[in-house]
Amino acid sequence: KKPVCECNACYGGSDCSKLLSDCAADAGSGDPYFLEPFWMQRAASSAILVSGWHRMGYTYSDGTFISELLVQYIKRLHATVGNAITEGKYIIFGSGSTQLLNAAVYGLSPNASMSPAKVVATAPYFPVYRTQTQFFNSRDFSYEGDTSLWKNKTDKNSLFIEFVTSPNNPDGKLTKGILHGSNVKTIHDRAYYWPHFTAIPSPADDDLMLYTISKLTGHAGTRFGWAIIKDKAVYDKMLTYIEMNTMGVSREAQLRALKVLDVALEGDGKQIFQFAYSTLRDRWIRLKETISKTKRFSLQNLSSQYCTFFKRERDPSPAYAWLKCERKEDKNCYKILEAAGINGREGSLYSAEDRYVRLSLIRSQDDFEILISKLKVLVAKD
Ligand code: PMP
């Protein structure tokens, strides 16, 4: 039984089992509570204790802000999962991969003497690429809209920095970069490139890749992410960025990351990946089944694919549903769902039409059950 203080907003009573009737389904944020049961089963082995006198200094004994042991764990993790090549590359830590997004833009930008780098992404895309680049307004880079605006233009005098998210947030597609050439640098955001969410066709071997524990172990609140970087000069610039910004990631965060990765790696990761995949696969099947009863809504098309981690074909199990309102008059899909007691996120947040809504499938089981029951009512009305 869950303690009362952790009741989902839709449940009440002394043991949180009473479903409150006037409650809306929360399918908004990407809080990865779907992994909570995995960690509840490992409550003791995943715990850390830090004494008051422990780890008080700024740096590790080698004078860096980066735990070498944690770097080794991360390399072992990628080798075990087969989702990234780390050999001969540099690794840097950030307060979540959020901090590393702008560190990467800075790291890839030219010196101020040249024209600013043009930062682009392809809709639908994770909004922070745009909002952060605009917020950290700099002479070195500027946000220049959707990649498609630049696809067939020859602007050899500018450096382009393209964000590529694969699998993509919000639609779960394994995307590739659109711009190519010697004046194009790419930031590969691999936050969701784990067997929970997608098949792993091959290890990613790009020049700059971003990963995070937020969507891997589910510890989004720890704020721990890492970048894998090929080029030493880019690594040095990103290191300067982190030193100027926060002087490294909190040592408590690094310690917790080390602990949860250690537990996640037990049995070569089979337990966490099997648990996460089967949970999300079941949710996707149930959601598809519910939506298939109507023509009013549709979901993104995803297909089964061979996964080198599971060594077999696996079904889709995306982190988010990218739901579309198909009727011509249903231009604002968010409002339609909201009226039915379902809170998602507007398509326009992802630079797409409001005919789309993102529904988070990685929240708690309670959240998912409420989402499905509200959708069933909505679909039955049709
Ligand atoms: N990239 C993508 C595509 C994301 O969806 C998120 C989290 N929603 C992040 C990066 C940032 O993750 P974090 O800062 O928690 O590591």
* pLDDT tens figures, 2-30: 555 567 667 778 887 777 767 899 999 99
Ligand 1 touching residue 96 (CB < 6 A): yes
Mean pLDDT of 101-110: 96
Ligand 1 touching residue 220 (CB < 6 A): yes
Q: Which two tokens stand for residue 45?
A: 């082995």
* Cβ–Cβ < 8 Å for 54, 189: no
Indicate if the pLDDT at residue 288 is higher than 90: yes
Q: What is the pLDDT of residue 2?
A: 52
* pLDDT tens figures, 53-101: 998 999 998 999 999 999 999 999 999 999 999 999 999 999 999 999 9
Ligand 1 touching residue 189 (CB < 6 A): yes
Residue 165 alpha carbon to ligand 1 centre in Å: 10
At residue 347's C-alpha, the angle toward residues 345 and 348, to 5°, is: 110
Phi-psi domain of 268 (left: phi exceeds 0; alpha: psi -120 through 50; beta: other): left
Residue 210 alpha carbon to ligand 1 centre in Å: 9
pTM over 0.80: yes
Distances (CA, A) of 382 to 325, 356, 376, 377, 379: 12, 18, 10, 9, 5
- As to burial, measured by CB atoms within 10 angstroms (0-12 exposed, 13-18 middle, 19+ buried), residue 43 is exposed
Mean pLDDT of the chain: 94
* Residue linked to tokens 């809209």: 145
Please list, in sequence order, all residues whose beta carbon lies within 8 angstroms of the beta carbon of residue 14, skipping any fewer than 6 positions away.
Answer: 4
Ligand 1 touching residue 316 (CB < 6 A): no
DSSP state of 170: T
Mean pLDDT of 106-129: 92
Domains in the chain, start-ordered, CATH in brackets? 4-41+269-381 (3.90.1150.10), 68-267 (3.40.640.10)
Q: Which atom of ligand 1 is found nearest the CA of 192?
A: 3
Q: Which atom of ligand 1 is found nearest the CA of 214?
A: 15
* pLDDT tens figures, 23-60: 899 999 999 999 999 999 999 999 999 999 998 999 99
Residue 80 alpha carbon to ligand 1 centre in Å: 22
**What count of Cα atoms within 13 Å lies in the side-chain half-sphere of residue 83?**
30
> Cα–Cα distance between 175 and 173 in angstroms, integer?
6
Ligand 1 touching residue 167 (CB < 6 A): no
ipTM above 0.90?
yes
* Cβ–Cβ < 8 Å for 84, 93: no
Q: Which atom of ligand 1 is found nearest the CA of 165?
A: 3
Q: Which atom of ligand 1 is found nearest the CA of 98?
A: 14
| End-to-end CA separation in angstroms for the chain | 37
* Cβ–Cβ < 8 Å for 325, 355: yes
Residue of 34, 35, 128, 345 to mutate, ligand 1, most atoms within 8 A of C-beta: 128
Mean pLDDT of 188-209: 98
Distances (CA, A) of 188 to 140, 163, 209: 20, 6, 5
Q: What is the pLDDT of residue 154?
A: 65
Mean pLDDT of 253-270: 97
* Residue linked to tokens 């009440």: 12
Q: What share of the chain is helix, strand, coil (3-state, %, to 5)?
A: 35, 20, 45
- Determine the residue type at 37: P
- Determine the residue type at 70: L
Indicate if the pLDDT at residue 174 is higher than 80: yes
Residue 98 alpha carbon to ligand 1 centre in Å: 6
DSSP per position, 288-326: HHHHTT-SSEE------EEETTTTEEE----SEEEEEE-
Residue 380 alpha carbon to ligand 1 centre in Å: 35
* Alpha helix stretches (DSSP H) within 36-169: 36-40, 68-81, 96-108, 128-135
Q: What is the pLDDT of residue 5?
A: 57
Atom 1 of ligand 1: nearest residue by CA position: 191
Residue 189 alpha carbon to ligand 1 centre in Å: 8
Residue 1 alpha carbon to ligand 1 centre in Å: 31
Q: Which two tokens stand for residue 111?
A: 């010196």
Ligand 1 touching residue 214 (CB < 6 A): yes
